[in-house]
Amino acid sequence: MPTPKNSNKLESMLDRFGNYAVEAFHYIALFIIGCMIVWSAIHTTIEIFTIKKYATIDDILLLFIYLELGAMVGIYFKTNHMPVRFLIYVAITALTRLLISDIQHNHKADISQLIITGSILILAVAILIVRYASWNFPSVIREKHQERPLEQGKTPRPEDDELA
């Protein structure tokens, strides 16, 4: 039967190994996602230059989505935090792309366009709320692997409105 001291040592070692394994998986998966975004953006750009000969507004907005996703991955890679605002920006760009595509192809007004524009408005208000809350009610600045309260008199950074 293992002694409590040996058991604690083994548990500590397994805990460290588990943390390293999760961290390694995290970075590998993040790197793969980043590569996929770059690959898709390059493929779209090559397609625009070779097949289409010109970029439509749909193509340009798709490239903006790739740019926002790439920025999101880059920020997450550097800080280990995901700003909620970036997810909302991607959603707004995707809805704008859908709206423009719908207008270009259907050439008529209907309720779907009102629903899409209402959704964009709701997301814009959500960004306003997130920004306001992060600036006026900062409770914690999250450093990688630790949490500490915000020091008195310090102002929060815009990237503090993150999804934990």
Percent of the chain with pLDDT over 90: 32
Per DSSP bridges, beta strands 82-83 and 162-163 are antiparallel
**89-119 confidence digits (pLDDT tens):** 999 999 999 998 888 888 888 898 999 999 9
What is the Cα Rg of the chain in Å?
Answer: 22
Q: Tell which wins on pLDDT, 49 or 143.
A: 49
**57-86 confidence digits (pLDDT tens):** 888 889 989 998 998 888 888 887 777 888
| Helical segments of 2-83, H only | 4-47, 57-79
How many whole angstroms from its chain centre is CA 128?
Answer: 17
The per-residue pLDDT for 85 is 86
Q: Tell which wins on pLDDT, 140 or 40.
A: 40
pLDDT category of residue 155 using cuts at 50, 70 and 90: low
**Beta-carbon count within 10 A of 61 CB:** 19
User: Given a cut of 50, is residue 163 above it in pLDDT?
Assistant: no
User: Given a cut of 70, is residue 156 above it in pLDDT?
Assistant: no
Name the residue ranges covered by the structural domains of the chain: 4-163
CA distances from 98 to 88, 101, 157 (A): 15, 5, 32
Structure tokens at 110: 């209907």
CA distances from 101 to 58, 108, 136, 148 (A): 7, 12, 38, 46
Round the average pLDDT of the chain to a whole number and report it: 82
pTM: 0.66
User: Given a cut of 80, is residue 143 above it in pLDDT?
Assistant: no
Question: Which residues, in sequence order, are CB contacts of 122 under 8 Å at separation 6+?
Answer: none
